[in-house]
Structure 1
Amino acid sequence: MDETSRTRSAVHAYFERVERRDWEGFGALLAEDVVYEMPQSRERIRGKATYLQFNREYPGDWHLQVRRVVADGRHAAAWVDARVGAEHQDACVWFELSGQGLISRITDYWPEPYDPPPGREHLVERW
């Protein structure tokens, strides 16, 4: 398996294991010095133990489903359908893997929906 395929597999495994709440298996994918960032809230978590605790303690009945993963070498991006109860959001998650094939950096973008500015109704289709 080439590097890009390993990266893609690691990202799919990341979401599968976190969705199953398989914390031991999830932790096995992470580098000890993993860094997790959420730019919208300007939060950063450093280290596997802290990141595992963050996920174990995350409130609500949340679920993540991968829509698409694009990988190139040791980098990948995932488009994710995130749900907490009845609330739905799309998320974009960026990954970086170490030379050992462990996830070393995760950047999570949670875009908020907003109404577009007026004046382009003739160009777009709203859904």
Structure 2
Amino acid sequence: MQEAQIREILNAHWQASAAGDLEAEHDIYADDSICDYPQSRERILGRANLQALRGHHPGKPSGFEVTRIQGEGNLWVSQYSINYQGRAAYTISVMEFRDDGKVVHETQYFTDPFEAPAWRSQWVQKMP
């Protein structure tokens, strides 16, 4: 599959996710896909279970912003933030595609923002 096609598929996926369109959001996944959440040590087996889990999330996102999509071949990484109840969760999604354009394995990492310590301010710049 061409990189432009995968990027188009990913853009449609993230737009559907931001809009809360569960059907379109989960169209990217193969029926037998696997999604891992390493921080909670959970594995979701199959597109139907992943869609059901996300459809029953008690804190629906109030904002969603993709900041970077990068990949090559069948392995792609998306960086984005999701706002849940006034708090940002910075997220990395690593997706492995089959040749037919469906995701067979995704791993998602979530993190909360934190204040930068003052001691390192001389070496850094604030990100927008």
Residues 26 and 114 of structure 1: is their aligned pair in 2 closer, same or farther, counting only changes over 3 Å? closer
Higher relative contact order (CA 8 A, sep 6+): 1
C-alpha RMSD of the superposition? 2.1
Aligned pairs for 1:1-127 within 5 A? 3-62=2-61, 63-114=63-114, 120=120, 122-125=122-125
Asked if the contact 1:3–1:74 (Cα under 8 Å) also holds between the matched residues in 2, the reply is no
Residue deviations 1:26-75 (CA, integer Å, cap 9, x gap): 23221001111111111110101100101101121313221111121121
Q: Which stretches in structure 1 are left out of the alignment for 5+ residues?
A: none
Q: Distance in 2 between matches of 1:61 and 1:22?
A: 12
Q: What is the percentage of aligned positions where both structures have the same residue?
A: 22
Residues 125 and 27 of structure 1: is their aligned pair in 2 closer, same or farther, counting only changes over 3 Å? closer
Asked if the contact 1:90–1:111 (Cα under 8 Å) also holds between the matched residues in 2, the reply is yes
Residue 123 of structure 1 and its aligned partner are, at CA, apart by 3.1
1:46 corresponds to which letter in structure 2? L
